[in-house]
Chains A and B, each alone.
Chain A
Amino acid sequence: MISKMILDIRFLQIFVMASLLSLGVYLYDFTLGLEQVILTFMGGLLAQLFWVKKYNLSKASFLSAGITCMGLVLLLRTNTLWLHPLIAVLAISSKFILQKNKQHIFNPTAIGLVIALTFFSSSWLSPGQWGSQILLAFWLIAIGSVLTFRAKQLDMAWYFLLFYLGGMALRNLYLGYEVEILIHAAKNGSLLLFAFFMITDPKTTPNHKYSKILFAFIIAMGSLICRYYFYFNHSYIYCLVVTSLFVPLFNKKFIAPKFQWRVYEKKSITYSY
């Protein structure tokens, strides 16, 4: 069982995110306390345990919960100790409560962040916290590619980045900005984290290739419009949450097999969450 579990790419994903977290705390002074990290994981994993017991599900789904918690500590900032665990509980619970066709609607990290920013005035995100260290970007892209490729979701991250940066490039060209500005934007850690760890979530994105392209295009254009014309910070997270509502519609239009997390062996364990 353990040897099978190790093969699950989500271990690697957690490892990458944990490295990013340590790097961020070490290099960029993340204004994040160890207590906050521990409490987030306690909240998230206990919520998962509660729902797993309630519906008698496979225990392996704790991996996904770990990834959600990691995403929250990487992005969410607050001065309080209670907000992180509360958001972790709400994010995990959203998977079990907000469902359509027995599949959760929202990426738990994204919905958690939107709830925090909308309803709790003590929270904020730090879009500039990652800096534009080229190595960090390279590392994110390289490892993100491996992860998403294995999860057969490489396409989603690349479609999004292509449309988002492409749109930005056209705008910059029109305004007469130098190419350095685009490069600077492409090296943004929050953007890459979003592309490789949130929008690529196979459970909350459409299944068919064409609908994936359309989905990425809508989110990319929506975020650019919200950012430049309505001066919205963190626009892609909001756009992902809103667009996620239409995933069942996409799946109805373009039919493709549903995604299942699998271990890389024939006798794979499949889990619903």
Chain B
Amino acid sequence: MKKNLLLILISLLISPSIYAFCGFYVAKGGADIFNKASQVVMVRDENRTVITMMNDFEGDYKNFAMVIPVPQVLEKSQINAGDKTNVKHLDDYTAPRLVEYHDADPCQPRIMHKFGRSGIGIQNESMLAANSMPAKKLGVKIEAEYTVGEYDIVILSAKESNGLETWLRQNKYNVPKGASKALKPYIKQKMKFFVAKVNIKEQKKAGLNFLRPLQVAFESEKFMLPIRLGMINAKGPQELFVYVLTKNGRVETSNYPNVKIPSDLDLPIFIKEEFSDFYKSMFDRQVKKEGMKAVFTEYFWDMGWCDPCAADPLSVKQLRSLGVFWLDEPNYNKRRGGIRPMPIPRGGARNVKVTRLHLRYDKKTFPQDLMFYQTKDTKNFQGRYILRHPFKFKGDGKPQCDKGKEYVKNLPARFEKEAQTLAHITDWKLKDIRKKMKLAGNSSSKKGWWKKLWE
């Protein structure tokens, strides 16, 4: 029986994705948000790099395999099967969020607000359909073989790409057509290939019914993520989330434009119930606007705090498990005493920053691997959307003071503005938004009554 090969290079992931909400008002759900999404956590300082790749592969584990170019032959201790809950937690922590405010009684001014919290988590998944002379003759050398957790890992070096492709076929990996062409540049740059498949026996022994994310730690001057290999047999565009953990500044790509997602906008209250649809539609619209050629920054913040928090900050233990190797430096623990779960004032020196990058790509719009660059930018950024609940007057629902009357008079214009903002940043039609808000185009009824005619 042929083995399928998961040629991911980080994201060869063709899969239905699963999302889940966290927060107090939305049920945990299982609907798809982003299809074909994959998640990678990258920890980087100077030339030290730790990469965690999520594999929520849900088919027959015999069919799972993946190939990743790596800069050097890795030792067994440089490879680990990690904890997927950490990636999920990091995703929740950095996801776009909603903030809710309740307007104060305009007749009795005082400040009263609370925020709700909601993050969107995206899990991903991976797989790849795919299809066997002695290794030496083919120019392929098995540099090392390990079993790490539930994975059997082979590290190969190759002299030429056709030989590697043949070797993979002979060893019953279903390599997609065109693989050798994509493999060639990595071979010429003397990179090695990390090939992983599932060891069913070990997996059963460990009592696991899922795959843990694979983690690799290595040193490389190149701050990059290879995505080309994953595009060989991709059908349609793919989605990728990269969470980069660094000591200093925001990370951006140096070979593609970087764009921040729209944020800090007042939106209609109903999106609370449809936040995941909103996020998806908003991202679709932004991708279209940039011609699917940009990398979006969705979050950049110190790992020590958040405001508001879509999930609690990760603990030192979790961060270390994701590969943040500098956290054991004595100064860190002494000064910080562990990461606090609550927001703490700005200004203090923290030394773990997270950048969440989100991109949709295909071979045409992203021909090159992602090259990263750590800027010195320390300005926080988050995808944050504001819901303002109007004040409900007691009794007959009518205001008793002039200020209150003025407040009520201004509400329709405010709602209309929220509707227009929403229509502007998503694919949703203004007409439908107004309907959902029960606005019936209030503001356009007197002035500009014709606006509705040809919408």
Please list the residues of chain A having a beta carbon within 8 angstroms of any beta carbon in chain B: 28-29, 31, 77-79, 121-124, 126-133, 174-178, 180-181, 183-185, 188, 230-231, 233
User: Within the assembled complex, what's the spacing in Å between the Cα atoms of A176 and B158?
Assistant: 15
User: Within the assembled complex, what's the spacing in Å between the Cα atoms of A133 and B256?
Assistant: 10
User: Within the assembled complex, what's the spacing in Å between the Cα atoms of A183 and B367?
Assistant: 10
Closest to A28 in B: B257
Q: Contact between A79 and B379 (Cβ–Cβ < 8 Å)?
A: yes
B184 within 8 Å of A (CB atoms): yes
Q: Contact between A129 and B258 (Cβ–Cβ < 8 Å)?
A: yes
**Total A-B residue contacts, Cβ distance less than 8 Å:** 81
B444 within 8 Å of A (CB atoms): no
Q: Residue B376 contacts which of A78, A178, A181 (CB distance < 8 angstroms)?
A: A78
Which residues of chain B are within 8 angstroms of A178 by Cβ–Cβ distance? 367
Which residues of chain B are within 8 angstroms of A79 by Cβ–Cβ distance? 376-379
Q: Contact between A131 and B189 (Cβ–Cβ < 8 Å)?
A: no
User: Within the assembled complex, what's the spacing in Å between the Cα atoms of A1 and B185?
Assistant: 59
Binds A, one of B97-105, B247-255, B415-423, B427-435: B247-255
Which residues of chain B are within 8 angstroms of A126 by Cβ–Cβ distance? 252, 258, 373, 375
Instruction: Known A-B contacts: A177-B185, A184-B255. Give 15 more (CB < 8 A).
Output: A77-B377, A79-B376, A79-B377, A126-B375, A128-B373, A129-B257, A131-B256, A131-B257, A174-B188, A175-B184, A175-B189, A176-B161, A188-B255, A230-B221, A233-B254
Which residues of chain A are within 8 angstroms of B221 by Cβ–Cβ distance? 230-231
B181 within 8 Å of A (CB atoms): yes
Which residues of chain B are within 8 angstroms of A128 by Cβ–Cβ distance? 252-258, 295, 373
B294 within 8 Å of A (CB atoms): yes
Can you name 27 A-B residue pairings with CB atoms under 8 Å? A29-B260, A31-B379, A79-B376, A124-B373, A126-B252, A126-B258, A127-B255, A127-B373, A128-B254, A128-B258, A128-B295, A131-B256, A131-B257, A131-B293, A132-B257, A175-B184, A177-B185, A181-B367, A181-B368, A183-B367, A184-B367, A184-B368, A188-B255, A230-B221, A231-B221, A231-B222, A233-B373
From 285 to 324 in chain B, residues with beta carbon under 8 angstroms from any chain A beta carbon are 290-291, 293-295
Q: Contact between A124 and B376 (Cβ–Cβ < 8 Å)?
A: yes
Which residues of chain A are within 8 angstroms of B168 by Cβ–Cβ distance? none
User: Within the assembled complex, what's the spacing in Å between the Cα atoms of A124 and B258?
Assistant: 14
> Nearest-CB distance from A140 to chain B (Å)?
15
Which residues of chain A are within 8 angstroms of B364 by Cβ–Cβ distance? 180
Q: Please classify the interface of chain B as helix (H, G, I), strand (E, B), loop, or mixed, using the class held by over half of its residues.
A: loop
User: Within the assembled complex, what's the spacing in Å between the Cα atoms of A169 and B367?
Assistant: 15
Which residues of chain B are within 8 angstroms of A127 by Cβ–Cβ distance? 254-255, 373
Closest to B189 in A: A175
Q: Contact between A176 and B188 (Cβ–Cβ < 8 Å)?
A: yes
Q: Residue A176 contacts which of B181, B222, B257 (CB distance < 8 angstroms)?
A: B181
Q: Residue B259 contacts which of A29, A77, A122 (CB distance < 8 angstroms)?
A: A29
Q: Contact between B376 and A176 (Cβ–Cβ < 8 Å)?
A: no
Q: Residue B257 contacts which of A122, A130, A180, A233 (CB distance < 8 angstroms)?
A: A130
User: Within the assembled complex, what's the spacing in Å between the Cα atoms of A79 and B294?
Assistant: 23
Which residues of chain A are within 8 angstroms of B258 by Cβ–Cβ distance? 28-29, 126, 128-129
> Nearest-CB distance from B141 to chain A (Å)?
20
Q: Contact between B184 and A77 (Cβ–Cβ < 8 Å)?
A: no
Which residues of chain A are within 8 angstroms of B222 by Cβ–Cβ distance? 231
User: Within the assembled complex, what's the spacing in Å between the Cα atoms of A31 and B161?
Assistant: 43
> Nearest-CB distance from A231 to chain B (Å)?
4
Q: Please classify the interface of chain A as helix (H, G, I), strand (E, B), loop, or mixed, using the class held by over half of its residues.
A: loop
Which residues of chain A are within 8 angstroms of B223 by Cβ–Cβ distance? 231
* B175-211 Cβ-contact flags toward A at 8 Å (1 or 0): 0000001001100110000000000000000000000
User: Within the assembled complex, what's the spacing in Å between the Cα atoms of A46 and B223?
Assistant: 40
User: Within the assembled complex, what's the spacing in Å between the Cα atoms of A133 and B189?
Assistant: 29
> Nearest-CB distance from A91 to chain B (Å)?
19
User: Within the assembled complex, what's the spacing in Å between the Cα atoms of A176 and B161?
Assistant: 10
Q: Contact between B378 and A176 (Cβ–Cβ < 8 Å)?
A: no
User: Within the assembled complex, what's the spacing in Å between the Cα atoms of A94 and B364?
Assistant: 44
> Nearest-CB distance from B106 to chain A (Å)?
34
> Nearest-CB distance from B316 to chain A (Å)?
26
> Nearest-CB distance from A125 to chain B (Å)?
8
Closest to B181 in A: A176
User: Within the assembled complex, what's the spacing in Å between the Cα atoms of A10 and B184?
Assistant: 47
User: Within the assembled complex, what's the spacing in Å between the Cα atoms of A181 and B253?
Assistant: 15
Which residues of chain A are within 8 angstroms of B189 by Cβ–Cβ distance? 175
Q: Contact between A124 and B259 (Cβ–Cβ < 8 Å)?
A: no
> Nearest-CB distance from A131 to chain B (Å)?
3
User: Within the assembled complex, what's the spacing in Å between the Cα atoms of A130 and B293?
Assistant: 11
> Nearest-CB distance from B287 to chain A (Å)?
14
Given known A-B contacts A124-B376, A176-B184, A176-B185, A132 and B293 have beta carbons under 8 A apart: yes
> Nearest-CB distance from B400 to chain A (Å)?
44
User: Within the assembled complex, what's the spacing in Å between the Cα atoms of A124 and B249?
Assistant: 10
Q: Contact between A180 and B377 (Cβ–Cβ < 8 Å)?
A: no
> Nearest-CB distance from B384 to chain A (Å)?
16
Which residues of chain B are within 8 angstroms of A78 by Cβ–Cβ distance? 376
> Nearest-CB distance from B204 to chain A (Å)?
41
Which residues of chain B are within 8 angstroms of A31 by Cβ–Cβ distance? 377, 379
User: Within the assembled complex, what's the spacing in Å between the Cα atoms of A181 and B231?
Assistant: 14
Which residues of chain B are within 8 angstroms of A129 by Cβ–Cβ distance? 257-258
Q: Contact between A77 and B375 (Cβ–Cβ < 8 Å)?
A: yes
User: Within the assembled complex, what's the spacing in Å between the Cα atoms of A31 and B256?
Assistant: 16
User: Within the assembled complex, what's the spacing in Å between the Cα atoms of A231 and B221?
Assistant: 7
User: Within the assembled complex, what's the spacing in Å between the Cα atoms of A127 and B253?
Assistant: 8
> Nearest-CB distance from B137 to chain A (Å)?
22
> Nearest-CB distance from B253 to chain A (Å)?
5
Closest to B297 in A: A29
Which residues of chain B are within 8 angstroms of A184 by Cβ–Cβ distance? 255, 367-368
User: Within the assembled complex, what's the spacing in Å between the Cα atoms of A197 and B161?
Assistant: 42
> Nearest-CB distance from B165 to chain A (Å)?
13
Closest to B258 in A: A128
